[in-house]
Structure 1
Amino acid sequence: MTASEHDATTRDTTRLGWPAVHGLAYGGDYNPEQWPQDVREEDVALMRQAGVNLVSVGIFSWAMLEPREGEYDWGWLDDVLDRLHAQGVSAALATATASPPPWLTHRHPEILPQDADGTILWPGARQAYSVSSPVFREYALRMTRAIAERYAQHPALALWHVDNELGCHNAHDFSDDAAAAFRAWLQARYGTVEELNAAWGTAFWSQRYSSFEEVLPPRRAPMFVNPTQQLDFHRYSSDEFLAYFREMKAVLREVTPGVPVTTNFMCTTRSKTMDYFSWAAEMDVIATDHYTIADDDERHIELAFSADLTRGVAAGRPWMLMEHSTSAVNWQLHNRTKSPQEMLRDSLGHVARGADAVMFFQWRQSAAGAEKYHSAMVPHAGPDSDVFRATVRLGEALRALEPVQGSTVDAHVALVFDYEAWWASELDSHPRNDFSYPEEVMHLYRALWLAGMTVDVVHPSAELSGYRAIVVPSLYLVRDEHAQALADAAGAGASVLISFFSGIVDEHDAVRLGGYPGAFRELLGIRTEEFWPLQGAEFHALHGGGRGEFWAENTHLEGAAEVRTWAEGPLAGRPAVTRRPVGQGAAWYLGTRPDAETLQSLVGRVLDEAGVAAEAEAPEGVDVVRRHGEDGATYLFVLNHTAQDAVIGADGRELITGAEVAGDLTVRAGEVAVVAEGC
C-alpha cells in the first residue's frame, strides 16, 4: 500500500508532543546570516519587546554552514542560538537543506531537476534539486546529521524543521533519476506489468508495456498523455517527497529522540502537489504556511477554509501557522499592503480555527535577494513603524490568549476534500477543461461560511458519524469504501450534499459505467445520461428562482425528488437539484453550479434539515468560531471583517482587553475579540 492509499484516522503512536514553548508560539523565520553582528544584537532585544518565543533558524543556510564540502562553519549559528536562548527564545532549527549550495550543484549537476520537456532547472533560485537523486539524498542526510549532532544538546532547540515547503517549486521532476524512482514506485504499487496495463487502460492508443523498464514519467508528448499515468505520477511525487522526509526524520530521531519533528505544509486552495492527508501521520505537529491573495475581496473566507483544512489534516489537534505575512508579499501581480487591523485579524483567524502558533516569513525584512520586498515583522523602516507596532500588539494579544492553548474546535458540519480528486479532476480531456476543483470547493465553503457554520474539512476516509451535515464538492475520483461511508452517514441521519462531477471515476481514473454520477447513483437516486457543460458565461434559469451556471446534466430521477428544474434551455423540465430520503437522513445533489444567492438558500435548507445552527447570530462579514478546552472552558472568537461595528451576544471576560462582557459584545470595525465564556 502506498502513502496515497492511507487511512487518515491512523496515527503514528511514536509521535512526540508540542514543542517546549510556553503559551502560544510566536515568531517567524529568522535569517541572521544576512545581517552583521550589531543588527543581530538588536534583533534579540526587539524580539523580547515583541514577545517572540520561537523562531525558525537555518532554513536556507547550507552554503553558510558548509562553505566547502566537508568544511563546517558553526561559529555564527552557535552564537545566534546562544543569544536566543539567553533571551528566552526557542528555535525551530532547520536541516538547512532547502537549497543545495553552489559547490554541490557545480560538482554534481546530475542532482538538478528537469521539467516535462527536458529543460534543466538550474541553480540561482532555491530548491534546485531532484528529490529522487540518490546523490542529493546522500548529501542532504549528511548535512542533517551534522546539524543534529552539533545542536542535539543545545537548550534553545525546541523543534526540528525539515527542509522547507517540500515540493513547492520542484514537485514534479522528470529526470532520469525520477524515471527510475517512478518505475520502482509503480512496481511496488502494481506488482506486475500486467496489473499496471490493466490499471492504466493501455489497450488505448497502443500503450501496452511489456516491462516496467519501458515506463517513463509523463514527459511532454505529441498529444494527451495517458491520464492514469499522470495521476500515478502525482501520487508518486507526493510519496517520494514523503520518503525523503522520513529519511531526514529518522536521522533526527536517532540523534535527538526527544525533539519533535515537522515540516511546513501549504494547506491552501493554491497548493495541490502534495497529499498532506497522507503525510500527517509522520508529523509530530502539523505546520502550514498561508498567504492571502490581495485582489480577492473575500480572502478572509479562503483563509478560514485553509485553516479548517489544516485542522482537518491535523485530525482536530492544535497546529502551527509556520508562515504568513505581516503586510505585502512580493510574488503577486499587485502586492497590496495590509493594515495593522488586517494583520491582527489574519493571525487570530488562524488561532480561532485551531492554531497554537503564529509565525511569519520573516523576522527582519531582507535588504537583498528575491524576497527583499516581502514584508516582515521588522520592516525596512525599522521598529519605528506601523508594522513593528502591529507586531508588538499581536504579541501582547497572544500572551493574553495563553488560556486558549491546547483547546480544540468542534464542528457538526464536514466538507469532504481530497487531493487525489483534485489531481484527477483537473487532468486534460474533460467535459470542461477550465474546471477548477478549488473553485467548486470554495463555492460551497463560502455558503457554509456565510451561514455562520464551523466546518471540519476532512479526507474521504475520515470518521463521519459525528457530523449532521456533510458537503461533498465535485469528488470526481472516489474509492468504493469512501462512497459507501457517505451512504452510511446519510442512512444514519446525516444530510449529505454532493455537487456535480462527483463519483465519476474509480481510483484508476476509469469511468464507472452505467450512467453518472457513478459511485453515487444509488445514494442520490438519479441517473445522468450525458454531461451538458454550459459554454463560457452561459447560464439558464431554474424553476423556483435563481439560475444554473457553468454545468448542466441530462438527468433522470430514480428515487429522488426534484428540488429545482431547468426553466429554459435544451434541458427545460429536467431536474437540476434533487433530494432523496435515505434511512434517517437525506442525499442532495447539485447538478449545476447555482448562483450565489440560490446556493445560499439551498445550503440553508440542508443545514435546517440537519438541525445545525451558527455559533452565534452575527452580521454578514463577522466570523464567529468557538474553541473548547478539556476543562470545559470555551473561547468565543469574533472577527469583524466589515467597516461597521458589530454587536454579538456573549457573556464572560474578553481576554485581549480584560473587559467583562455581560449580554452584548461590541467588536469595532476591523477588530477581533476573544471571550472566555462563563468567566
Structure 2
Amino acid sequence: MPTNWPVAGLGFGGDYNPEQWSPEVWDEDVRLMTEAGVNLVTLGVFSWGALEVADGVFEWTRQDRIIDLLHRNGISVDLATPTASPPLWLQAAHPEILPVNADMTQRHPGARDGWCANSATFRRYALRMTKALAERYAAHPAVVLWHVSNEIGGGNGRCYCDQSLAAFREWLRERYGSLDDLNRAWGTAFWGLYITGWDHVPAPRGNETHNPALMLDYDRFCSDSLLEHFRAERDVIREFTPTTPITTNFMVGPHQDVVDYPRWAEYVDIVANDHYTIPFDPLPAQDIAFSADRVRGMTPGRGPWLLMEHSVSAHAWHPVNRAKAPRELIRDSLGHIARGADGALFFQWRASLRGAEQFLQGIVPHAGPDSKIGREVRELGAVLGRLAEVRGSTVAQARVALLFDDEAGWAFSRGLKPHRGLDYGDEPRAWHRALWDRNVLVDVLPPEADLGTYDLVIVPTLFLVHDDSASRLAAVTRRGGVVVVTWMSGIVDHENAVRAGGHPAAFRELVGVRSEEFFPLPPGERGRLDSGAAFHSWSELMDVTDAEVIARYAEAPLTGRPAVTRRAAGSGAAYYVSCALAPESLDALVGKVLDDVDIEPSGGGAGLDVVRREKDGTTWVFALNHGAGERRLTVKGVELVTGETVDHELVIPGCEVRVVRERGA
C-alpha cells in the first residue's frame, strides 16, 4: 500500500471545477491559486459528462490543458474518477442504474449520485470510465493522488431495487450458509415470518414495521456493496499506477452514516474526510474536534489524514445557511490540522454561478478575491506554509478513548424502540463535549480498536456489542483503568437480538448493576437526582448487585433507586450511568471520573483548545481561542504563526490560533 504523502508540506487547496468556466478564467484561477499558496487541487469529481460526451466517445482536450496548466504552475492534482455523477445520456439509455427508494419509487435523472452500487450495468460503465482516465493520466507528473468517486453513499447509500435485493440474498447466503441459520438469527418465528426459500427473503421496503435484524443486515449489506464498488474502481487505477496513493472522501461526524467508515479505512491509502459545520450549532468547534478525533481514531497508527473538503463560509444544504464569522475560516481549518490532518482543502475553488450549489461559497467567492473570504484564504495559505514542518507529526497520545460504532448506530436508530426520538450520536457527543470543555484529548474509536494504552474508556449508548466487548473492557479495569458505561449500552448482540437477564446485559457483570425496565422521558421533561444532578430523555429501574451508589433518583417513579454507580474492578473501576445527564451535571461527573484516573487538562481551560502534535522529539502546541477575549498559556518556544519567541507566556488574541514549536525548560 503506498504511504507517500502527496505534497511536500501541508496540503492546501480544494475542489476545482474548471469545466464550469471559460478558458480565460483558468489563467486567473491559477494566478490566484499561486498567490494563495495552493499546492493541491481535486480535479474532475463531476466531470464524467464533460469527458465522455457520448457512449464510448471521450473528449480529453479540456482536461489535458487544465492538468498541464496546473503542473506548469507547481500545483499538484488529486485526480477523481467522475463516477459519482453519471451523465444524462447514460441514465437515459439505462434507467435501471438509478436508485430505488424504500417506497419503491425510482430516483429521477438530473441529480448527482444517480447510480445503484449493485447495478452491473453501472459498474461496467464506471470501470470503463475509470480505466480510460487511469490510462491517460497515471503517468502525468501532476497527479500525486487518486480520488475514487465522491462521498460514496452520501446520496445513494441504500437502494431497494430488484438488483439490490438479488445481491442482498447472495450476501445473506454467504453470511449464514443456510436458511435454518438465517431464520434463527432473524427470529422469524415472531409473526410467523419463516423463510423457506432464498427467493423469499425480503428487503426492508415500504413503511412497514420490519424485523430489526433484517434492517441491520440490510444496512451492513449496503455498506459492503458500496465498499465493493470503491474497491473495483481502486483496483483498476492500481493496475496503471501502483505507487500513487488512492483515497476517497469519507463524511465522518458525530452521527452514524450509511457507510461503516472504520471498517473501510484499511482499504484506502490515505484516510480523507469531508466535514461541514452545521449552521447555528452552538459548538461548531467541538463538532470539528469530534469529527477529527474520530477520523484520527480510524487512521492506522493514529497517523496523519487529509481534510478533503470543508467550507470557507456558508454552504447550501440547510434551511438557513449562516456565513462564517471573521476568523472562523482560519480557526476551523487549523482545528482539523491540530487534531491530525496534514492538509486542509475546501469545496470548492470558485463559487458556482449556476447549478444546485450556486449559493455555496467558494475560495473565490461571488464577491471575488477582494473579500473577507479571499483575504482569510490567503492568510491561511501563508500560515499553512509556515506550519509545513508539522507534516508527518502525530497527535500526542490520548489517555481517553470513546467508543463509537456505525453498526451500533444503525441498530439504535432503526425499528421500534422505547424512545424513538433519540439520535445515536447525541450521547457520544455529550461526553466528548464534557471532555473537550476540560481540554482533555479523546480518541474516538471503533469498539474493536486496541484499548491497551488508555486509562479511561467511555462507552456511550453502545447499543449493539459483540460478545468479546465486555472482556476487552474488563481488561482495562484489571490494569487499573476506568470504564464508564452509559444507558442503552450492551443491549443487543451482533445479530440485533436482545441480551436476556437485565441490562446493560453485556456489561452487567463489569458494572455490577442490573436494570429491569426502561423509563424514557418525553421531550422537554427533566428529572433530578439526589446529588442535585439533572437528567433528560432516559432513566432506568435498576438494582445494585456489586457496586457503590454515587447518586439516586430523587423523584417518582424511581425515587430512591440507584441512578449512577461505581464498582471497584481489578485495580480500576467501572461506572454505570443509567440516565442522560444534563450538560452541567455530566460535567460534574466527568470531573469525578478524571480524578479517579488522575488525568489533568492540557492547560487551556474552557474556550481555549490546546492540542499537541509530536515528531522525532519535537512538539508543536496548537492553541485555538474560540472566545472573543484574550487568553494566555504557559509555554516556551517559537510561535510559528507570528514568528515571535515565547519565553514563558503565550498570548492568544480572541478568535485567533497560535502554534508554538515547544522547547524544554
TM range (shorter): over 0.9
Q: How does 1:617-656 map to 2 (within 5 A)?
A: 618-629=604-615, 631-656=616-641
Question: In the alignment, which residue of structure 1 is the partner of 2:329?
Answer: 343
Match of 1:441 in 2: 428
Pick from 503, 516, 523 the counterpart of residue 490 of structure 2: 503
Q: Does 1:88 align with 2:74?
A: yes
The aligned counterpart of 1:412 is: 399
Structure 1 runs (4+) deviating above 3 angstroms are: none
Aligned residue for 1:128?
114
The answer to which of 557-566 and 592-601 deviates more is 592-601
Task: State the 1:612 CA deviation.
Answer: 1.2
The 3-state SS of whatever aligns with 1:359 is strand
Asked if the contact 1:468–1:611 (Cα under 8 Å) also holds between the matched residues in 2, the reply is no
Corresponding position of 1:198 = 184
Within 5 A, what are the aligned runs for 1:21-420? 21-221=7-207, 223-315=208-300, 316-409=302-395, 410-420=397-407
Paired residue type of 2:464: L
Q: Which amino acid aligns with 1:548?
A: F
Residue 250 of structure 1 and its aligned partner are, at CA, apart by 0.7
1:328 maps to a residue whose letter is A
Q: Could you tell me which amino acid in structure 2 is paired with residue 513 of structure 1? A: A
Contact 1:267 1:289 in 2 (8 A): yes
How high is the sequence identity, in percent, across the aligned residues? 48
Structure 2 equivalent of residue 664 of structure 1:
649
How far apart are 1:537 and its partner, in Å?
Answer: 2.0
Counterpart of 2:194 in 1: which secondary structure?
A: coil
Indicate conservation of the 8 Å contact 1:407/1:628, yes or no: yes
- TM-score, scaled to structure 1: 0.96
Task: For 1:253 and 1:588, locate their aligned partners in 2 and report how far apart those are by CA, in whole Å.
Answer: 48
**8 Å Cα contact 1:619/1:646 also seen in 2:** no
Aligned to 1:598: 585
Deviations 1:299-354 (A, max 9, x none): 11111000101111113110000000001001111111113410000000000000
Report Cα offsets for 1:169-213 as digits up to 9, x if no partner: 000000011101111111111111111111100001111101211
Question: How far is 1:272 from its partner?
Answer: 1.3
> In the alignment, what sits opposite 2:517?
530
Deviation string, structure 1 residues 521-561 (Cα, Å, up to 9, x no partner): 00000011111112322222211212222111110001011
Cross-structure match for 1:6: none
Contact 1:464 1:489 in 2 (8 A): yes
Partner deviation per Cα, 1:637-674 (whole Å, 9 max, x = no partner): 11100010101111101011110011111100000000
Which of residues 535, 545, 551 is equivalent to 1:564?
551
Say which SS state the counterpart of residue 269 (structure 2) adopts: coil
Q: In 2, are the aligned partners of 1:18 and 1:285 still within 8 Å (CA)?
A: no
**Whole-angstrom CA distance in 2 between matches of 1:350 and 1:468:** 24
Does 133-142 or 540-549 show the bigger shift? 540-549
Conserved 8 A contact 1:81-1:91:
yes
Out of 584, 599, 608, the residue aligned to residue 612 of structure 1 is: 599
Secondary structure at 1:636's aligned position in 2? strand
- Secondary structure of 1:626's match? strand
Contact 2:14 2:41 in 1 (8 A): yes
Structure 2 counterpart of 1:288, which letter? N
User: Match for 2:497: what amino acid?
Assistant: A
Q: How far has the Cα of 1:483 moved from its partner?
A: 2.1
Q: Which residue of 2 aligns with 1:674?
A: 659
**Partner in structure 2 of residue 11 of structure 1:** none
CA distance in 1, matches of 2:155, 2:255: 13
Q: Distance in 1 between matches of 2:663 and 2:650?
A: 14
Aligned partners of 2:277, 2:535: CA distance in 1, in Å? 29
Instruction: Provide Cα deviations, 1:606-644, integer angstroms capped at 9, x if missing partner.
Output: 11111111111x242111111111x11001111100010
SS in 2 for 1:480: coil
The answer to whether the 8 A contact 2:437-2:605 is kept is no
State the match for 2:527 in structure 1: 540
2:533 and 2:506 map into 1 onto residues whose CA distance is: 28
What is the TM-score of this pair, normalised by structure 2?
A: 0.98
> Quick check: 1:162–1:263 contact (8 Å CA) kept in 2?
yes
Q: Which residue number in structure 2 is paired with residue 422 of structure 1?
A: 409
Q: Tell me the residue number matched to 1:475.
A: 462
Letter of the structure 2 residue corresponding to residue 445 of structure 1:
H
Query: Deviation digits for residues 59-93 of structure 1, max 9, x if unmatched?
Result: 00000000011111000000000000001101000
What's the counterpart of residue 538 of structure 2? 551
Aligned length: 662
Whole-angstrom CA distance in 1 between matches of 2:653 and 2:102: 52
Deviation at 1:247, TM superposition (A): 0.6
2: CA distance, partners of 1:178 / 1:46 = 46
Aligned counterpart, 1:16:
2
Superposition CA RMSD, Å:
1.0
SS of 1:362's partner is coil
CA drift at 1:271? 5.0
CA positional deviation for 1:270: 4.2
Structure 2 CA distance, aligned partners of 1:463 and 1:153?
39
Q: Does 1:589 align with 2:548?
A: no
Say which SS state the counterpart of residue 93 (structure 1) adopts: strand
Residue 269 of structure 1: CA displacement?
A: 2.3
Contact 2:255 2:424 in 1 (8 A): no
- In the TM superposition, residue 255 of structure 1 has moved relative to its aligned partner by 1.1
* Conservation of the 8 A alpha-carbon contact between 2:351 and 2:363: yes
How far apart, CA to CA, are the structure 2 residues paired with 1:28 and 1:270?
Answer: 25
Gaps of 5+ in 1: 1-14
Unaligned runs of at least 5 residues, structure 2: none
Structure 1 contact 326–375 (Cα < 8 Å) conserved: yes
Assess if the C-alpha contact under 8 Å between 1:655 and 1:676 holds in 2. Answer: yes
- Contact residue 252 and residue 273 of structure 2 kept, 8 A: yes
Aligned counterparts of 1:466 and 1:399: Cα–Cα separation in 2: 33
What does residue 453 of structure 2 align with?
466
CA distance in structure 2 between the aligned counterparts of 1:211 and 1:311, rounded to whole angstroms: 44
